[in-house]
Amino acid sequence: MTAQTGSNPLQGSYDVIVVGGGNAALCAALSAQENGARVLVLEAAPYEERGGNSHFTGGAFRFAYRGVDDLISVSPSVAEADLANIDFGSYSEEQFLDDMFELTEYRTDPELCELLVRSSLETARWISRQGVKLEPGLGRQAYKIDGKFKFFGGLALHIWGGGPELLGALYATAEKRGVPVVYDTPVLDLVHEDGRVVGVVARAAGKHVRLHAGAVVMACGGFESNPEMRARYLGPGWDAAKVRGTRFNMGDGLMMALRLGAQPHGNWSGCHSVAWDVNAPAYGDLTIGDQFQKHNYPYGIVVNARGDRFVDEGANFHSHTYAKYGGEIMKQPGMFAWQVFDDKVTHLLRSEYRIRRTTKAVADTLEDLAQKLTGVDPEGFLRTVRAFNAACPADVPFNPNVRDGKRTTGLDIDKSNWAQPLDTGPFHAYHVTTGVTFTFGGLKVTEHAEVVDRYGGTVPGLYAAGEMVGGLFYQNYASGTGLMSGATFGRFAGAHAARFATGSTERAA
Ligand SMILES: Cc1cc2nc3c(=O)[nH]c(=O)nc-3n(C[C@H](O)[C@H](O)[C@H](O)COP(=O)(O)OP(=O)(O)OC[C@H]3O[C@@H](n4cnc5c(N)ncnc54)[C@H](O)[C@@H]3O)c2cc1C
Asked if residue 276 lies in contact with residue 323, where contact means CB atoms within 8 angstroms, the answer is no
Q: What one-letter code names the amino acid at 488?
A: T
Task: Please give the pLDDT value at position 86.
Answer: 84
Rounded to an integer, the average pLDDT of 328-338 is 97
What amino acid occupies position 381?
Answer: F
**Segment 384-393 mean pLDDT:** 98
* Residues of the domain holding 354: 273-436
> CATH code at 408?
3.90.700.10
Nearest to 306 by CA among 361, 410, 372, 382: 382
Q: Is the pLDDT of residue 82 over 90?
A: no
- Using DSSP bridges, classify how beta strands 264-265 and 301-303 pair: parallel, antiparallel or unpaired: unpaired
Structure confidence by residue, pLDDT tens digits, 344-360: 999 999 999 999 999 99
pTM value is 0.94
Both 220 and 310 in a single domain? no
Ligand 1 binding residues, C-beta < 6 A: 19-25, 42-45, 51-54, 56-60, 186-187, 219-221, 244-246, 248-249, 252-253, 284, 290, 437-438, 466-467, 480-483, 486
Pick from 409, 436, 463: which residue ends a domain? 436
Across residues 471-489, what is the average pLDDT? Answer: 96
Q: How far is the CA of 197 from the centre of ligand 1 (A)?
A: 24
- 79 or 222: which leads in pLDDT: 222
Distance 69 CA to ligand 1 centre (A): 30
**Nearest atom in ligand 1 to 252's CA:** 41
Are residues 207 and 244 located together in one domain of the fold?
yes
Distance (Å, rounded) from C-alpha 462 to C-alpha 329? 38
Whether pLDDT at 7 is above 50 = yes
Three-state secondary structure string covering 32-55: HHHCCCCEEEECCCCHHHCCHHHH
CA-nearest residue, atom 15 of ligand 1: 482
Q: Is residue 6 part of a domain?
A: no
CATH number of the domain that 203 lies in? 3.50.50.60
Q: What is the pLDDT of residues 419-460, one digit of tens each?
A: 999 999 999 999 999 999 999 999 999 999 999 999 999 999
Q: How many residues does the chain have?
A: 509
Q: How remote is the CA of residue 219 from the centroid of ligand 1, in Å?
A: 9
- Asked if the structure places residue 2 within a domain, the reply is no
Q: How confident is the model at residue 25 (pLDDT cuts 50, 70, 90)?
A: very high
The 8 Å CB, 24+ separation contacts for 195-200 are 195/261, 195/459, 195/460, 196/460, 196/461, 197/260, 197/459, 197/460, 197/461, 197/462, 198/461, 199/17, 200/17, 200/19, 200/42
Hey, what amino acid is at 353? Y
Q: Is the pLDDT of residue 342 over 80?
A: yes
Asked if residue 506 has pLDDT above 80, the reply is no
Q: Residue 35 is which amino acid?
A: N
Mean pLDDT computed over every residue of the chain: 94
Given 436, 468, 487, which residue is the final one in a domain?
A: 436
Local confidence band at 143 (pLDDT 50, 70, 90 cut-offs): low
Tell me: do 247 and 393 sit in the same domain. no
- Of the chain, the percentage scoring pLDDT greater than 70 comes to 96
